[in-house]
Amino acid sequence: MSLKNKFNLSSRNLLNLVLVGIVVALVLVVVYEPGKEDESSRLISTLDIAKVTEISIERIGNPSINLSLIDNQWQMQTPYAMKANKIKVESLLDLLAYNYHARYDMAELDAKQYGLDIPRTTITFNKEHKFEFGTTEPLKKHRYIRYQNTLYLADDFYYYRILGAATTFLDHALLDEKQKITKIELPGLTLSLKDAMWEANPKPEKYSNDQANELIEHWKLSHAIEMLAYPPAKGTGQVRIYLDNNKEPVRFDIFSLNDEFYLGRKDLNIAYKLANEQRRYLLQLPPAIDTPSVDTPAK
């Protein structure tokens, strides 16, 4: 092979090595993105989600919402003293894992320009970690959030989670399914639990314990479509449910609004909107089965 050919071959090999090196370098840039800020360093807050035990929400023109974690169960304290919806409440904690797109020192900014002179909404964790929500920036619609004298721009998904009525954060179950029902008084019928069997008074002509079990199960598992403050409406009857280890019954007032079926807890100032077919499942025994069957004891 001539010297010229050897030189050309060496040149091509060198060029190939250079090209391979460039490709490798580009791949490393794409994969590792040198100079990019680590996402964990762009969190709005470093508060540990596991340490949050209190949440409060303030909104213009609406009552304050206060939630507390008690015995690993979220409870609403105000405006309703009731068990809270775990999923809804835990979704509020997502803010503590949010990344921001940009941040600025509030000392150098006019709060009014960002809708933070009078914040639209404020959420506070553990009484000291306060997040105030302003308007959105016009280009990418990122939400302005003030936290610890810093202005953050973040995605706007979270803001709408805290705009719902206080009742959206409540557990929509009529009863705690873990509690045992020992007696239920319906309009025209009383079921009492004795020796693991339900006694009906007055007893229908065709009656089985399975009918009572089915009705009780509906009460234990039913959830409201919607919840609202107890309305100024006259009830058409009342259901009284006695729970194990409770002397006083849980009272549900029966009433209709705009032809919709509601059960109201006046003691909690709350009303449960239910599907109209639930009226049949909750207020009367299911039809008797003609074929003979062995009664199933109450659970």
Read off the amino acid at residue 116. Answer: L
Domain for residue 17, yes or no? no
Return the pLDDT at 34. Answer: 40
How many Å apart are CA 171 and CA 283, to the nearest integer? 22
Q: Is the pLDDT of residue 282 over 90?
A: yes
Q: What is the pTM of this model?
A: 0.79
Cβ contact 169:89 at 8 Å: yes
Q: What would the pLDDT profile of 90-140 be if each residue is shown by its tens digit?
A: 999 999 998 999 999 999 899 999 999 999 899 999 999 999 999 999 999
Q: Which residue intervals of the chain are DSSP H helices?
A: 3-32, 86-92, 209-221, 278-283
Q: Please give the average per-residue pLDDT across 137-145, as a whole number.
A: 94
Return the pLDDT at 235. Answer: 83
154 shares a domain with 47: yes
193 shares a domain with 160: no
204 shares a domain with 150: no
**Mean pLDDT over the full length of the chain:** 86
Q: How many separate domains does the chain show?
A: 2
**Residue finishing a domain among 137, 169, 201:** 169
Distance of alpha carbon 252 from its chain centroid, rounded?
24
In this structure, what token pair is assigned to residue 161? 């989670």
How many Å apart are CA 192 and CA 198, to the nearest integer? 5
φ/ψ of 61, rounded to 5, equals: 80, 5
Domain for residue 11, yes or no? no
The residue written with tokens 């803010």 in the block is: 95
Residue 9 or residue 138, greater confidence: 138
Return the pLDDT at 7. Answer: 42
101 shares a domain with 78: yes
- How far lies 11's CA from each of 4, 14, 18, 23, 180, in Å? 11, 5, 11, 18, 87
Return the pLDDT at 118. Answer: 93
Q: What would the pLDDT profile of 158-199 be if each residue is shown by its tens digit?
A: 999 998 899 999 999 999 988 999 999 999 999 999 999 999
φ/ψ of 233, rounded to 5, equals: -120, 150
Determine the structural domain holding residue 237 and report its residue range. Answer: 181-283
Q: Is the pLDDT of residue 76 over 70?
A: yes
Domain for residue 30, yes or no? no
9 pLDDT band, cuts 50/70/90, is: very low
Return the pLDDT at 233. Answer: 80
Q: What would the pLDDT profile of 222-262 be if each residue is shown by its tens digit?
A: 999 999 999 888 888 999 999 998 889 999 999 998 899 99
140 shares a domain with 193: no
Q: What would the pLDDT profile of 79-90 be if each residue is shown by its tens digit?
A: 999 999 999 999
